[in-house]
Amino acid sequence: MTSRTVTRTLRLGTRRSALATTQSGWVADLLRARGHRVELVEIVTEGDVNAAPLATLGGTGVFAAAIRKSLLAGEVDLAVHSLKDLPTTPEPGLVVAAIPQREDPRDALVARDGLTLGELPTGSVVGTGSPRRVAQLAALGLGLELKDIRGNVDTRIGLTRSGTCDAVVLARAGLARLGRLDEITETLDPLQMLPAPGQGALAVECRADDAEVVALLSEVDDADTRACVTAERSLLATLEAGCSAPVGALAEVVEGEDGLELSLRAFVGSTDGSVELRRSLVGPVAAPERLGADLAAVLLEDGAEHLTGPEERPPATAHTHWDPDPAEATGDRPPLAAPTDSRPEPTATERAT
């Protein structure tokens, strides 16, 4: 029993989807194990009831908006978000008080006949709603036809069973939390497919002035996970990309010559696969924001700002049949643009093309 146990029942706001309630239930159980009473409060968002493309609704930030409104109104005390869905700009009045230990951040392939990515025949249809995945799959040069899809896990996996797609790409973390790892035919190596910034991590948000809840949520915060996702999201914020741009990033705490350090890898590319930038940087675990900003500066110096402008779309003759449906979009940032201030000189940079 924790010494910070509160007397009131904590109201945890969640979307109604299976994944959202599973993630919220997992956090609720972490808090219950520490002696707190928690109840889930279901909240319907516009993204749940409007079938229009997410891009027209404001990206996946639309899912967080209704829950944040309930938080600010005092209707719930805390909320759990997939961190990759949260805008990089903080919400006034709210704070991400906990980022629990991260699930495996990699992407996963679910394909017909148990096939791996390399075993898919030329011309196979692979479904994804993510420009980031489109850009990296196209860059592999496997001759795949990439199809834009939207929907929950059942809907997307169902496309392989119906024959609409030969395979779909999903976040491994979501399948793990739903107990569906046995449906994965291949977990994709980050050397092929870097995940979205923050993928696999959960953000537990509450009102900034609710000191009691802020304090108790600190009990489930994981320092290594917070450092990693802070570096990834700092890179994204510095690029001013928003997740609708083809940006991938993965940070890991690794053993260096002088102890633990933070290793950050990133990808920015064109959705037709013709251009890709892959860069990496190592820095102190205690300075994740600086590390992310430094690596973003390297990408910008190497031409990242020219890859994801509004006009950047696959040509009509390309093998990529993709209409932007940013499954990881936040809508809070314009396309990539070089920062107006001077950029720091990067250190310990590995410039791998």
- What are the two backbone dihedrals, phi and then psi, of residue 172, each rounded to the nearest 5 degrees? -60, -35
CA 335/CA 305 separation, integer angstroms: 8
272 is catalytic: no
φ and ψ at residue 111, rounded to 5 degrees: -125, 160
Give, as one character, the DSSP assignment of residue 274: S
Alpha helices in the chain (DSSP H): 18-32, 46-49, 54-57, 61-72, 131-139, 153-162, 172-177, 211-217, 223-239, 288-301
Those residues with Cβ within 8 angstroms of residue 292's Cβ, 6 or more apart along the chain or in another chain: 230, 231, 232, 233, 234, 235, 236, 237, 238, 249, 251, 264
- Measured distance CA(319)–CA(331) in Å, rounded: 27
Q: Supply the DSSP symbol for 264.
A: E
HSE toward the beta carbon, residue 99, CA cutoff 13 A:
20
Helix (H, G, I), strand (E, B) or coil at 96: strand
Structure tokens of 291?
């590390």
Structure tokens at 22: 């599973």
Task: List the catalytic residue out of 77, 85, 148, 294.
Answer: 85
Query: Which residues are the active-site residues?
Result: 85
